[in-house]
Amino acid sequence: AQSVTQLDSQVPVFEEAPVELRCNYSSSVSVYLFWYVQYPNQGLQLLLKYLSGSTLVKGINGFEAEFNKSQTSFHLRKPSVHISDTAEYFCAVKPDQGAQKLVFGQGTRLTINP
Amino acid sequence: GAVVSQHPSRVICKSGTSVKIECRSLDFQATTMFWYRQFPKKSLMLMATSNEGSKATYEQGVEKDKFLINHASLTLSTLTVTSAHPEDSSFYICSARGFSTATYGDTQYFGPGTRLTVL
């Protein structure tokens, strides 16, 4: 079975500052990794995903994440945040074999202050 | 590409009535669709997984007779909340997984969600 831990439930950051949202996972098999963003009263939007290849993945809205297999981490980063980045961010994993379900972390609330 | 729609976006109903929520994959065929429930300030809770043309697989603790799921085609799945009660009030989100892993990389795409309020 897989599990995902998002270490911070809330992250307040000033506008234009860098941010890192942490995600660690546990799995006995190889996995695919995802970051989703949820704006208030909306569904989830895919930010980026790691399936294979380069461990540094670039996504939409200037976000990127790095897959670190030895540390079983997939932290999300952005060098300079905007007010519009205020949202809930979810990390998720799925085994790379078989039609199994996504396992989500608890979510991190990113709040950008002016 | 990979757009998923849900209808309605918001619904208010009286206790005891049934409500149907539609989920459509607009520009791809979804062999598998998922239904989630999200409580305020919480993560997503998977309710059930449905494959086109077959019965849905429900997660433990989810009443299949209360939450009826139909996946009649490769682009449409419906969730019907039967005899709704106030405790069923929640944000329901559907998700679809594309047929072609080469194109979609086994990725789930999510709909915008449906806010259900049962009075």
Query: Tokens in use for B66?
Result: 């209360």
Rounded Cα distance between B50 and B33, Å, is 5
Looking at residue B28, its pLDDT comes to 83
pLDDT for res A76? 98
Provide the pLDDT for residue A92. 94
Of A32, A42, A106, the CB nearest to B112: A42
Q: Which residue of B has its CA nearest to A97?
A: B106
Over residues B64-84, mean pLDDT:
93
Q: Which regions in chain A score pLDDT beneath 50?
A: none
Contact by Cβ (8 Å): A12, A80: no
Q: Give yes or no for residue B105 having a pLDDT over 60.
A: no
pLDDT of res. A89: 97
B79 or A51: which carries more pLDDT confidence? B79
Helices (H), chain B: 101-104
Contact B18, A79 (CB under 8 A): no
- pLDDT tens column, B11-48: 999 999 999 999 999 888 888 899 999 988 788 899 99
The region of weakest confidence among A52-56, B40-44, B65-69, B99-103 is B99-103
A97 contact B CB<8A: no
Q: Is A36 on the interface with B (CB under 8 A)?
A: yes
- Read off the pLDDT band of B101 (50, 70, 90): low
| Cα distances (Å, whole numbers) of residue B2 to A46, A100, B33 | 10, 19, 13
Are A102 and B108 inside 8 Å of each other by CB?
yes
C-alpha to C-alpha distance for B57 and B20, rounded to whole angstroms = 18
Q: How many CB pairs under 8 A join A and B?
A: 50
The mean per-residue pLDDT over the stretch B76-86 comes to 95
Given 3-state DSSP classes, what are the helix, strand and coil percentages for chain A, each rounded to the nearest 5? 5, 55, 40
Q: Which of A41, A49, A99 sits opposite B32 (nearest CB)?
A: A99
Give contacts of B49 with chain A, Cβ < 8 Å: 101
Mean pLDDT over B105-117 rounds to: 86
Average pLDDT, chain B: 89
Q: Is the pLDDT of residue B53 over 90?
A: no
